[in-house]
Structure 1
Amino acid sequence: MATTKKTDRQLVSMTFRKPWGRYTKGDRAGFEPERAKQLEERKLAVRSAQAKDAEMAADTKSSSAKGTEGADKT
């Protein structure tokens, strides 16, 4: 049975907001902290934990703006 080698390497999970290389909008991938910082500065991706918070805020905002859309009109 193969054994896995333990490393001290820490990856940062990023969610892409724009296409970059082989990644498309919405893709998630792990990067070294230095690369993750570069992606954030270039506004190509955000940390996955922050992406979830932003999506929840956008969903709340859009659902409250709908009002009675789709309701029966009498």
Structure 2
Amino acid sequence: MAAVKKTERKTVSMTFRKPWGRYSKGDRAGFPEERAKQLEDRKIAVRSADVKAEENEEKPAGKQTPAKGTEGADKV
């Protein structure tokens, strides 16, 4: 049996900001480092780790949002 050569490839998780190929806005997919850099440079996608960091910064602690469906309800 032939020996299989294993190459080390780093996959980068990307979140799409706009449609590209078969991907829609908000989709996540893994790409090799070179492709991830191209997508980032063209502003098509950003690294998923960066998106998660942004989401954590945007949510202020202690701020409560009303429950869905209670817009016109009487508040007691």
Give ranges in structure 1 of 5+ residues lacking alignment: none
Identity of aligned residues (%): 65
- Match status 1:56 vs 2:56: yes
Q: More helix per residue: 1 or 2?
A: 1
2:10 corresponds in structure 1 to 10
SS of the equivalent of 1:14 reads: strand
Q: How many residues align?
A: 67
TM-score (norm. length: structure 1): 0.67
2:47 corresponds in structure 1 to 47
Q: Deviations over 1:20-39 (max 9, x none)?
A: 11001111111011110010
**C-alpha distance in structure 1 between counterparts of 2:19 and 2:55, whole Å:** 18
TM-score (norm. length: structure 2): 0.66
Give ranges in structure 2 of 5+ residues lacking alignment: 68-73
1:31 corresponds in structure 2 to 31
Q: CA RMSD in A?
A: 2.7
Runs of 4 or more above 4 Å deviation: none
Summarize the alignment of residues 55-74 of structure 1 with structure 2, pairs less than 5 Å apart: 55-58=55-58, 60=59
**C-alpha distance in structure 1 between counterparts of 2:56 and 2:6, whole Å:** 35
**Structure number with bigger Rg:** 2
